[in-house]
């Protein structure tokens, strides 16, 4: 069944704008002026890009009105991540089926992204903007599963809720794989940064991670905080239990996590019309 999902994933490719950007920055002699020119040539991407840069979450004092100004302020890694995020969203535009609401999917993912960025900034673990992207894309494996095996995926979701078990465990028992493994696999096929691949793959079980342990732990916390709220569960208990190794990696309490979730919820509400929804 994994091969069925993988074959469906091969039907989805990232837009040319991302592939061209990746090719450009792989050249050691690239310039930021070339990057700005490339992004600006694509009207749709240029619009998405500026909306992302001026997103209220970023708390910019002044609006950034040109691509060249944005690129000069951000640096290549943030430019890459914004184009990647917008490209993934664009790749799935117009795809719907009976068991997946795309708008709700991106709303949930965006909420996780805001949560991830906030926790990363508090813990000073890494570039919080990079963890924002990880939060946004952590669940893309489910997009491919719901396209390829919608009935089986929906049953696993319902069984997980009924049994009060983590979804990834139920998926592994029923299907032989889980959404995070699919997401990590697809990211590898897309040749995305290895950090994105690894953190996506291991975030349900951060104790299994051998690299990027702090980042994987933060994404684990963020996903559970968002999921427990949306499914009206108790964070830290049952299906939303936190891997014990996380607390020894991240210096934070359950109460602090819940307080940050309240703040993230307010920030998320501010950006409900983000480019990613």
The structural domains of the chain, with segments of one domain joined by +, span 2-12+96-270
Query: Considering the domain 2-12+96-270, what is its CATH architecture?
Result: Orthogonal Bundle (1.10)
CB atoms within 10 A of CB 127: 16
Average model confidence (pLDDT) for the chain? 88
CA-to-CA distance for 221 and 228, rounded, in angstroms? Answer: 11
The answer to which of 12-16, 66-70, 123-127, 201-205 has the lowest mean pLDDT is 123-127
Burial state string for 72-93 with b = 16 or more CB within 10 A and e = fewer than 16: eebeeebbbbbbbbbbbbbbbe
End-to-end CA distance of the chain: 30
> Does position 57 have pLDDT exceeding 70, yes or no?
no
User: Phi/psi at 118 (nearest 5 deg)?
Assistant: -65, -45
Beta bridge partners, 97, equal 100
Residues contacting residue 140 through CB under 8 Å, at least 6 positions apart: 88, 183, 186, 187, 200
61-70, 216-225, 251-260: range with highest mean pLDDT = 216-225
> At residue 273, does pLDDT exceed 60?
no
Q: Reply yes or no on whether the pLDDT at 145 is more than 90.
A: yes
The confidence band for 60, taking pLDDT boundaries of 50, 70 and 90, is: low
37 pLDDT higher than 60: yes
pLDDT at 184: 95
Confidence check: pLDDT of 132 > 60? yes
Q: In this structure, what token pair is assigned to residue 273?
A: 């019309």
* Percentage above 90 pLDDT, the chain: 48
* Residue whose C-alpha is closest to residue 85's, from 64, 110, 63: 110
Does pLDDT of 277 surpass 50?
A: no
Segment 240-254 shows an average pLDDT of 93
- Write down the pLDDT at residue 227: 94
CA gap 141, 5 in Å, rounded: 9
Distance CA 275, CA 53 (A): 10
Using the predicted structure, report yes or no on whether residue 3 has a pLDDT greater than 90: no
């Amino acid at each position: 069944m994994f091969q069925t999902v993988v074959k469906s994933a091969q039907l989805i490719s990232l837009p040319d704008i991302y592939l061209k950007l990746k090719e450009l920055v792989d050249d050691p002699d690239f310039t930021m002026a070339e990057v700005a020119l490339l992004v600006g040539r694509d009207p749709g991407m240029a619009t998405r890009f500026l909306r992302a840069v001026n997103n209220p979450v970023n708390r910019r004092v002044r609006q950034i009105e040109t691509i060249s100004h944005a690129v000069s302020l951000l640096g290549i890694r943030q430019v890459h991540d914004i184009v990647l995020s917008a490209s993934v969203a664009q790749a799935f535009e117009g795809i719907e089926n009976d068991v997946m609401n795309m708008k709700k999917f991106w709303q949930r993912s965006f909420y996780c992204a805001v949560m991830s960025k906030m926790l990363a900034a508090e813990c000073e673990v890494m570039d919080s903007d990079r963890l924002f992207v990880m939060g946004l894309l952590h669940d893309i494996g489910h997009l491919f599963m719901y396209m390829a095996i919608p009935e089986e995926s929906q049953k696993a979701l319902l069984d997980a809720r009924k049994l009060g078990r983590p979804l990834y465990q139920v998926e592994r028992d029923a299907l032989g794989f889980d959404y995070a493994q699919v997401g990590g696999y697809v990211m590898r096929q897309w040749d995305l940064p290895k950090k994105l691949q690894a953190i996506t793959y291991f975030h349900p079980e951060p104790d299994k991670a051998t690299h990027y342990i702090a980042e994987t732990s933060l994404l684990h916390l963020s996903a559970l905080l968002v999921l427990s709220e949306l499914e009206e569960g108790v964070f830290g208990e049952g299906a939303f239990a936190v891997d014990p190794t996380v607390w020894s990696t991240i210096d934070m309490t359950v109460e602090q996590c819940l307080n940050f979730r309240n703040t993230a919820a307010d920030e998320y509400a501010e950006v409900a019309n983000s480019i990613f929804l």
